Amino acid sequence: MKKHNFYAGPSILPEFTIENTADAIRNFAGTGLSVMEVSHRSKEFVAVMDEAQSLFKELLKIPEGYSVVFVGGGASTQFAMVPFNLFNKKAAYLNTGAWSKKAIKEAKAFGEVDVVASSEDTVFNYIPKGYTIPTDADYFHITTNNTIYGTEIKHDIDSPVPLVADMSSDIFSRPMDVSKYAIIYGGAQKNLAPSGVTFAIVRNDMLGKVDRHIPTMLNYQTHIDKESMFNTPPVVPVFAALQTLKWLKSKGGVEGMYETNVMKAGLLYDEIDRNPMFKGTVLDKEDRSLMNICFIMNDGFEDKEKAFFDFATERGMIGIKGHRSVGGFRASTYNALPVESVKALVETMQDFEQTSN
């Protein structure tokens, strides 16, 4: 039976990435060795790292004056790296979910944190608007896509102070204006690679403005200076990331992805809105994520939740259980998810409706 992979992350990757990585695990770039057992200083791997950084910049149209680094430690380590590198007197944060909260917690160890707005009172089911960003903040931090709650800031906001964004779960999902950001970072395990590599896009002139000692590995400058080779990088995840970047380019880049993502999400949101057995969890439709689509059983059908889960599982749907804080279901529709999988889920919802009536 065909499996439909709706995992929230680590999540579906292109067949191109999977096949090329499996091949390179056995024989990398004609070396006769596994990509797992070659020196990161070998000319074959240096070429991989160089091409990954260059394609990353090309696909996001990253302007001059920015660097791209690949490091370990996940976005969770970035939560501390951002204040280590940027925090002087005060930082502003938008609280849109569990990951925002973790970022805020790390920043508070460095001084005053102004949480400009929060949707925590309603389990983060909307993106706050109309807040004021303090102009004396060193930076303003947002989480663009909130995987757990299915909300997303789908445009590049204007900020009077340097804008820092955790884009772990929506990087490469749409065209964007990188010049509006000071730092963009994220774990790669949604739209890019298997887990184990973290990307950061850093505007070079943001660095060197704090007096504190920054541990070498938490200093962006370390990785910029050594082009992500200060220490041994996570070789397999970087190799896989390059494959995904190549696949992205072949599919029309972020513009092509965006078109497909809007179409895929539209199919599923339309069914959620049409099917009387289900309802979406996000309050404002404009805040609905293109990456993580959250829905629950509609009023009167609450007792059918397990039945639908089992029904969908029997039809090959994987990873659709909602996060425990939201309940219900979450279908993650990342770049690599084929439209066929979305259609299969829509049909499953329709068939369930028929079966239950």
Residues that bind a second copy (CB under 8 A): 3, 5, 7-13, 17-19, 21-22, 25-26, 31-40, 42, 71-77, 79-80, 84, 102, 105-106, 109, 187, 189, 193-198, 213, 215-218, 230-237, 240, 318-319
Other beta carbons within 10 Å of 254: 22
Per the CB < 8 A criterion, the answer to whether 169 and 292 are in contact is yes
Residue with smaller CB distance to a second copy, 285 or 324: 324
H/E stretch holding 106 reads helix 98-108
d(CA 126, CA 170): 17
Catalytic residues: 99, 166, 190
Query: C-beta of 16: minimal distance to a second copy in Å?
Result: 12
**Rounded-to-5 percentages of helix, strand, coil across the chain:** 40, 15, 40
DSSP designation for 3 = -
Residue with smaller CB distance to a second copy, 133 or 257: 257
**Buried b vs exposed e over 203-236: b needs ≥16 C-beta within 10 Å?**
beebbeeeeeeeeeebbbbbbbeebbbbeebbbb
Residue with smaller CB distance to a second copy, 127 or 342: 342
Residue with smaller CB distance to a second copy, 50 or 270: 50
Query: C-beta of 200: minimal distance to a second copy in Å?
Result: 14
Query: C-beta of 108: minimal distance to a second copy in Å?
Result: 9
Per the CB < 8 A criterion, the answer to whether 186 and 199 are in contact is yes
d(CA 169, CA 149): 12
Query: C-beta of 218: minimal distance to a second copy in Å?
Result: 7
H/E stretch holding 18 reads helix 15-26
Query: C-beta of 330: minimal distance to a second copy in Å?
Result: 11
d(CA 206, CA 202): 8
Nearest to 36 by CA among 304, 267, 233, 272: 233
